[in-house]
Structure formats: structure tokens, C-alpha cells
Structure 1
Amino acid sequence: MELAQVRLLVSDFPACYRFYADVLGLKPQSGAVDGPYEKFSPAVGSAGVALQDRVAMSEVLGELAEAASGHRSLVVLRVDDLDAYCAEIAGRGGQLVQGPGPMTERMRVAHLKDPEGNLVELQEWLLMQG
């Protein structure tokens, strides 16, 4: 089994597209700014994040509401230098809701939200002193 992607169901596709491409700096696969689907990839690693228009998926399944409520997802991105990356995304319009700061003795994190309210966690793994 292989994880192909995490797909977020979104209502404002263009705003979410701009967030993942322009603010977080992930690479879009096709450039479909208006959707209904786009996959984004980090500079390294094989897993990606994909956006799917919520209404288009509700037509397929016949059961999704037009808007989600509450935190229903958490996208986690690992970065080498959390402070530098947070400064970069702030310069591109990203607004942190928490951090950067320690989460455990092995990890520092920061959190922000995409335009739909999905949480994004930025992680920096720390080397253990031995």
C-alpha cells in the first residue's frame, strides 16, 4: 500500500489554491487555479496535498455538506529551518496562529490555517543530543 495524497474538500477553491501555492510554496501539478482539483507537491518527498472542490465531490457522493465545520484535517509539512520558513510564509501573507515553539523535546512546530480553516502544522525535527 502507498499513500498517494491527502485531499482536502474545499469550498473556495481559488483562495485555497493561492494559499498552498503562493503562501506555503508547494508546487502545483497542473495550474488549475479554479479547480475542481489540483495536487501540490513539496520540494522533496513523494506525498502531496490535493484540493477537491466540495460541491463537485458532493455531487459524486450525494452526502457532503457545502461547508465543513470544526477542524477536520491537519496537513503536516516538515521543514529544515522552522524560523526561516515561518518568516518566508509571513512575507507571502501567511498568518501563524501558534508558534514557532517546542511541541516535544524532539520537535518544534508552528500552526496556521488555510482559507477554509484547515490546520497546517509546520514541523522541524530536532537532533537528539546523545
Structure 2
Amino acid sequence: MELAQVRLFVTDFTACYRFYADVLGLKPQSGAERGPYEKFSPDTGSAGIALQDRAMMAELLGELGHPVTGHRSLVVLRVDGLDAYCAQITARGATLLHGPRPMTDRMRVAHLADPEGNLVELQEWLLPRA
């Protein structure tokens, strides 16, 4: 398992992009200043902070991504064998809120909440990262 990122759901994508790039000085991965997604990396370490357009997440997650009542962030963990991992954690008491299912042609995801209600995304990459 690998901590891939902490993802923030944002409404004003450009303003948040400018904050993380210009104010905090984190390096954008692709330069997608208008979204709908961008990952920022610190100078050291492998995990980063990502911004995700809230409307896009609402389409995928429904109520979990709702602009007012939905989550504002999630922790992303990359796993190998998503179905098997989900079976293991549900046997240990986890309740999946969504998935496993495709998110893009490159990955499958599942979502669950921790005991405090924080959203966790489990990712299985289907294609190697560029």
C-alpha cells in the first residue's frame, strides 16, 4: 500500500491552484491551472496534495461529493488487487460506500469512511503511471 495523495475538493479551482503553486511553492504535475484535476508535489517525498473539481467528484460520488453537504477532502491509498483488498477490509469491519468500480480507463476505485467520517479512496492502477 502507498499513500498517493491527499485530495481536496474545490469550487474555485484556479484560485486554489494559484495558492498551492504560487503561495506555497509546490510543483504542479501537469500545469492544469483550470482543472479539473492537478497534483502538487513537495520538494521531497512521494505523496502530494491534489485538487479535484468538486462538480466532477459529485458526478462520480453523488451525495458524497455534494457541494454543500459532501466531503471536502479524501485520503488516497494506492493498492494492488483492489477487489481482494476490499474483501479483506470488509471482513475486518469496513463498509464500502462506493465501488470497486472504474474511475477512468487508468484506474479503479473504492471509497469508505473512517470512524470519524473522513473519506478514503482506494485506487488500483490498471495502466502504469507515465
Using structure 1 for the length normalisation, give the TM-score.
0.51
- Report the counterpart of residue 66 of structure 1 in structure 2: 67
Contact 2:10 2:72 in 1 (8 A): no
SS at match of 2:47: coil
Structure 1 residues 68 and 45: alpha-carbon distance in aligned structure 2, compared to 1, 3 A threshold: farther
SS at match of 2:2: coil
Q: Matches of 2:68 and 2:35 in 1, distance apart?
A: 17
* Greater C-alpha radius of gyration: 1
Aligned partner letter, 2:23: V
Contact 2:9 2:72 in 1 (8 A): no
Q: Matches of 2:43 and 2:28 in 1, distance apart?
A: 11
Structure 1 residues 3 and 56: alpha-carbon distance in aligned structure 2, compared to 1, 3 A threshold: same
What is the CA-CA distance between 1:72 and the residue it aligns to? 5.4
Contact 1:21 1:27 in 2 (8 A): yes
- Report the counterpart of residue 30 of structure 1 in structure 2: 30
Structure 1 residues 55 and 29: alpha-carbon distance in aligned structure 2, compared to 1, 3 A threshold: same
Contact 1:10 1:54 in 2 (8 A): yes
| Residue 15 of structure 2 is aligned to residue 15 of structure 1 | yes
Q: Matches of 1:31 and 1:17 in 2, distance apart?
A: 9
Superposed CA offset, 1:75-127 (max 9, x none)? xxxxxxxxxxxxxxxxxxxxxxxxxxxxxxxxxxxxxxxxxxxxxxxxxxxxx
What is the CA-CA distance between 1:65 and the residue it aligns to? 1.8
Structure 1 residues 50 and 19: alpha-carbon distance in aligned structure 2, compared to 1, 3 A threshold: same
| Residue 37 of structure 2 is aligned to residue 52 of structure 1 | no
Q: Matches of 2:72 and 2:58 in 1, distance apart?
A: 16
Unaligned ranges ≥5, structure 1: 74-130
**Two-structure CA RMSD over aligned residues (Å):** 2.5
Please identify runs of 4+ aligned residues in structure 1 that moved more than 6 A: none
Structure 1 residues 18 and 67: alpha-carbon distance in aligned structure 2, compared to 1, 3 A threshold: farther
Q: Matches of 1:24 and 1:68 in 2, distance apart?
A: 28
